[in-house]
Homo-oligomer: A and B are copies of this chain.
Amino acid sequence: MNKIYNPKRQDWKDVLMRPTQTVADIEGLVNTIFEKVKLGGDTILKNYTQQFDKVNLDNLLVSQDEIKEAKSLVSEDLKAAIQLAKSNIEVFHTAQKTGRVEVETTTGVSCWQEKRPIQKVGLYIPGGTAPLFSTILMLAVPATIAGCSEIVLCSPPDKEGKLNPAILYTANLCGVTKIVKVGGIQAIAGMTFGTETIPQVYKIFGPGNQYVTVAKQIATKHGVAIDMPAGPSELLVVADDSANAAFVASDLLSQAEHGVDSQVILVSTSKEMINAVEKEVAVQLEDLPRKEIARQAIANSKLIYVESDKEAVDLINEYGPEHYIVCVENEDFYIDNTQNAGSVFIGNYTPESAGDYASGTNHTLPTNGYAKQYSGVNLDSFLKSMTFQKISEEGILAIGNAIELMAEAEGLKAHKNAVTLRLNSLKK
């Protein structure tokens, strides 16, 4: 771990530098696969599934029998845990509903804003060793609350042509309308253009490796929206002497086990806490099954000592952490003054893993400093707002002249004319 004492402001940018990603050389491959899937549909998807996932599938669509089988394979304990998490996520995301906003801006001029669901959304869930069924909860639950009518989920099959039972169970539980066994670039291409099996969607959500990340970027060039730009996951903890060093170390390690490029930062006004956390990390690391991954991430991690809370919060705002744990006595100061963060975990009994799974907040969050301008996934991510206006005769008489003047000043005569015609009709 790298200890940094009192970094100067002009050095913050370097101190807080994130690992870079190399994506440019993937673009060619992505464009090729997109072009082929656009023309060839399911046949091409099956070919790539054979090539990349080493399995030959007759049917990409998950059947009711497969879902039934999955239900029997998930333990009752895990089902109950998933149900608890689902319930909390539902409560928090349902509370985010907003009603119609309506005002009469001028007498006779009614304006209102309404949110309506994005009709078709696609969720990508990676395969591999860790079946991220928790991400299905985070995406399908708000999609269902929003009222999206088509919720497609794509995930790569294993060599037996199956998806993990927990993935199937959770997808079925959360209202996914179609589960498709296809992964990688070809899955994103399928959702972008539509195939015989996959409906074309308007917005794609979900995590993925660098191939999926680049594919999602390219999808935006073909008229599809995505949840947010991606980057390695990251955690910043701010802790003073009121924190528990073992707890803090366990949080840093839970971030570090995600990948060797995970970012882990501790900011503290206490040198004792920094030293205590460093020792605890070394001890706890040894017991982790993913310790080789975590060790590499920890090697690049930073323990930053600053002299004041003010300095700490300025540094944190400069970084804009995805996950942000606040374990300090003066927590309100940090909560009130932090401008840029994805999700904030407050106090000694609020580990990041609570938000990853079951507190109710969403775990799809802006990385890479994007917390400065992007929201994490929330109910609104599955809605778009539309505006409406209805103007009466009285209303157009009240604001018509202003419109005429402004249109004229912008050199747009036809814009003016649309008002003049109406005003003249009312003078008769």
Neighbouring B residues of A376 by C-beta, 8 Å: 385-387
Instruction: Say whether, besides A388-B346, A403-B357, A351 and B422 are in contact (CB < 8 Å).
Output: yes
A117–B338 CA distance with the chains assembled, in angstroms: 11
Q: Quick check: B344 and A412 within 8 Å, CB to CB?
A: no
The 0/1 profile, CB within 8 Å of B marked 1, for residues 394-428 of chain A is: 01100101110111011111111111011001000
The answer, yes or no, to whether A210 is at the interface (CB within 8 Å) is: no
Q: Quick check: B418 and A247 within 8 Å, CB to CB?
A: yes
Tell me which of B131, B393, B399, B415 contacts A84 (CB under 8 A). Answer: B399
Report how many copies the assembly holds.
2
Neighbouring B residues of A91 by C-beta, 8 Å: 103, 105
Neighbouring B residues of A406 by C-beta, 8 Å: 78, 81-82, 85, 133-134, 357-358
The answer, yes or no, to whether A173 is at the interface (CB within 8 Å) is: no
A203–B287 CA distance with the chains assembled, in angstroms: 43
- From A391, which residue of chain B is reached at the shortest CB distance? B350
Q: Which of A54-62, A182-190, A252-260, A266-274 contacts B (4 or more CB under 8 A)?
A: A252-260
Nearest CB in chain B: distance from A217 CB, A? 8
- From A256, which residue of chain B is reached at the shortest CB distance? B414
Q: Quick check: A361 and B387 within 8 Å, CB to CB?
A: yes
**Most B CB atoms within 10 A — which of A202, A355, A409, A421?**
A409
Q: Quick check: A402 and B358 within 8 Å, CB to CB?
A: yes
- From A257, which residue of chain B is reached at the shortest CB distance? B414
Q: Quick check: A354 and B250 within 8 Å, CB to CB?
A: no
Instruction: Say whether, besides A116-B339, A421-B246, A360 and B373 are in contact (CB < 8 Å).
Output: no
Neighbouring B residues of A411 by C-beta, 8 Å: 129-130, 289-290
The answer, yes or no, to whether A380 is at the interface (CB within 8 Å) is: yes
The answer, yes or no, to whether A17 is at the interface (CB within 8 Å) is: no
The answer, yes or no, to whether A278 is at the interface (CB within 8 Å) is: no
Q: Which of A34-42, A152-160, A302-310, A364-372 contacts B (4 or more CB under 8 A)?
A: A364-372
Q: Quick check: B372 and A202 within 8 Å, CB to CB?
A: yes
A353–B132 CA distance with the chains assembled, in angstroms: 49
The answer, yes or no, to whether A352 is at the interface (CB within 8 Å) is: yes
A360–B389 CA distance with the chains assembled, in angstroms: 9
The answer, yes or no, to whether A68 is at the interface (CB within 8 Å) is: no
Nearest CB in chain B: distance from A349 CB, A? 4
Tell me which of B251, B343, B357 contacts A387 (CB under 8 A). Answer: B343
Q: Quick check: A253 and B414 within 8 Å, CB to CB?
A: yes
Nearest CB in chain B: distance from A111 CB, A? 5
Instruction: Say whether, besides A105-B92, A351-B422, A414-B294, A389 and B256 are in contact (CB < 8 Å).
Output: no
Neighbouring B residues of A223 by C-beta, 8 Å: 368-370
The answer, yes or no, to whether A166 is at the interface (CB within 8 Å) is: yes
Neighbouring B residues of A287 by C-beta, 8 Å: 417
Q: Quick check: B254 and A417 within 8 Å, CB to CB?
A: yes
- From A394, which residue of chain B is reached at the shortest CB distance? B349
Residues of A within 8 A of B (CB): 77-78, 80-82, 84-85, 87-88, 91-92, 95-96, 98, 101-103, 105-106, 109, 111, 113, 116-119, 129-134, 166, 202-203, 220, 223-225, 229, 244, 246-247, 250-251, 253-254, 256-258, 284, 287-290, 294, 335, 338-362, 366, 368-376, 378, 380, 384-393, 395-396, 399, 401-403, 405-407, 409-419, 421-422, 425
